[in-house]
Amino acid sequence: MTKLTISIFGSTGSVGKTTLNIIRENKEKFDVKILTANNNINDLILLANEFNPDAICFANESDLDLVKKKINSNKIEYYIGEIGLLECAKITSDIVIAGIVGLAGLPPLLESIKNSKKVCIANKECFVSAGSLIVNEAKKHKTQILPLDSEHSAIYQILENTNNTVKDIYLTASGGPFYKFSKDELLKVRVNDAVKNPNWVMGKKISVDSATLMNKGLEIIEAKHLFNIDESKIKVVIHRQSIAHGIVSFEDNSFLAAFGYPDMTHPIKYAIFYPNNYNNKSQKMNIDLLNNLSFETINEEEYHALRLVRSVIKSDDKEKPIILNSSNEVAVKAFLDNKIRFVDILVVVEQSIEYVSRLLGNETINYSDNLDNILYLDCLTRQKTGELIKLRF
C-alpha cells in the first residue's frame, strides 16, 4: 500500500499536534514530508526525530546549530524563516495542513495551493483577508480546499451529502467563557480568564477570539468564501454544549446537523482521509450526548464583534476585511501582553478600521486578489493599530 505524503505547517500548534496524533495511529497510511514550527524548537526536534521528515523549517537561523546537533538523521534538509516556509511549500505533498496562525500563514498557503493537490486549512485569518484569492488560486491550479474548522467541516460534510437547496447555514458558538457577563464583570476579565474556553482546548489567540465572539465573526467571512453563499444566509446560534458543530436549513424546511465531540480530531481525520471513509475508534459517540442540547438565536446588534463583521462585509470595501483581521491580531496580542483590557480589544479594532480606511481615502488598489497588496495593507494596519494603542490606551 502506497503511503500518502503529508506536510504540516504549524506542527507544534494544536492543529499540528492533533494531526500528528492521527498519523501515529495510522503510520501505515501516511509519510510525513515537511514539519514547520516558529520558535518551539524543542518540540520540533522531538517531532523530527520521531517522524523523520524530508525537511523542517523554523524561525531563527541562530537555532540551526542546536537543531542539527540534536536531530538524529543526517538526511533532513533545514529551512529558515519566511523564505524557508515558501521553499517548503514548493515541495509537492499529497496533503498539506495549513495550520500557521494568523496572516503569516498566507504566503506558504498560496504556494502550497500551486504545488499540492489537497490543502486542508485551519487558518481562518487567511480566508478573511484573502478569501477570493485563495478560492481563485485553488480553481486555477485544480487544488482541493478542505476546511479544518469544526464548524466549516461540519457544513462541508452536510453539503457533500445532499443536493437540496440551501436556505441558511448556522454556525454554532459556545458563547465563550463570559457568556451573559455584565459590563462590570467584563471590566474585571484577566488574560488567564480569557484563554480558558468552556469546551475546547485551543491556542491563546483563538481562545480570546472565542471570548470576544470575533472568532465567530471571522467564521462568517470564511463560510462566505468557502461555500460561495451570501452572508445574509449565514447565521450564528449560541449552543453552549458544543456538540452540534454545524446546521443547514433547506428550502423544503428540513434541517441537517452534524454532531460530535468538541475536539479537532474528527474534522482533521475527515479532511486527510477524504474522499475515503475512516474508522474513528478513538471517539465513539453516545446518543446520550444529544440529551438536553440548547440552541439560542441571538440579536447580533448586541454583540460588538458580530456587528463589526457584518458592517465590514456589507460595506463591500475589499480592504476592510484585511484591516479587521490585522487589527484584531494586534489588539489580541496587546491584551495578552497586558497592554489593554479585554473590553478594549474590539474598540481598538473598530477604531483601526475607521482610521486606516480614512488613510487609504479613495485609493483604487486591488486589496483582495493581489498578495503583495494584501501584505502591504496588513503591515500598514499593524503599524497604525500599534500607534492607536500607544496613543489611547
Predicted pLDDT of residue 392:
86
* Architecture of the domain spanning 4-147: 3-Layer(aba) Sandwich (3.40)
* Residue-wise pLDDT tens digits, 89-142: 999 999 999 999 889 999 999 999 999 999 999 989 999 999 999 999 999 999
Among candidates 117, 92, 88, which has minimal Cα distance to 105?
Answer: 88
Q: Which CATH number fits domain 317-393: 3.40.50.1400, 1.10.10.10, 3.40.950.10, 1.10.1740.10?
A: 1.10.1740.10
> What is d(CA 337, CA 72) in angstroms, rounded to the nearest whole number?
37
Among candidates 91, 88, 99, which has minimal Cα distance to 116?
Answer: 91
What is the pTM for the complete model shown?
0.93
> What is d(CA 21, CA 202) in angstroms, rounded to the nearest whole number?
16
* Residue-wise pLDDT tens digits, 263-317: 899 999 999 999 998 876 666 778 888 899 999 999 999 999 999 999 999 997 8
**What are the residue ranges spanned by the domains of the chain?**
4-147, 317-393
Predicted pLDDT of residue 366:
76
Predicted pLDDT of residue 129:
94
Among candidates 260, 240, 252, which has minimal Cα distance to 168?
Answer: 252
Residue located via cell numbers 487544488: 143
* Residue-wise pLDDT tens digits, 226-235: 999 999 999 9
Q: How far apart are the first and last CA of the chain?
A: 59
* Residue-wise pLDDT tens digits, 171-218: 999 998 999 999 999 999 999 999 988 777 788 998 999 999 999 999
Q: What is the overall mean pLDDT for the chain?
A: 94
Residue 97 in contact with residue 120, Cβ under 8 Å? yes
Predicted pLDDT of residue 28:
95
Q: Is residue 236 over pLDDT 90?
A: yes
Which of the four pLDDT bands, split at 50, 70 and 90, describes residue 355?
Answer: very high
Q: Name beta bridge partners: 147.
A: 121
More confident residue, 200 or 36: 36
Is the backbone peptide bond immediately before 275 cis, with ω within 30 degrees of 0? yes
> What is d(CA 327, CA 29) in angstroms, rounded to the nearest whole number?
41
Which of the four pLDDT bands, split at 50, 70 and 90, describes residue 393?
Answer: confident
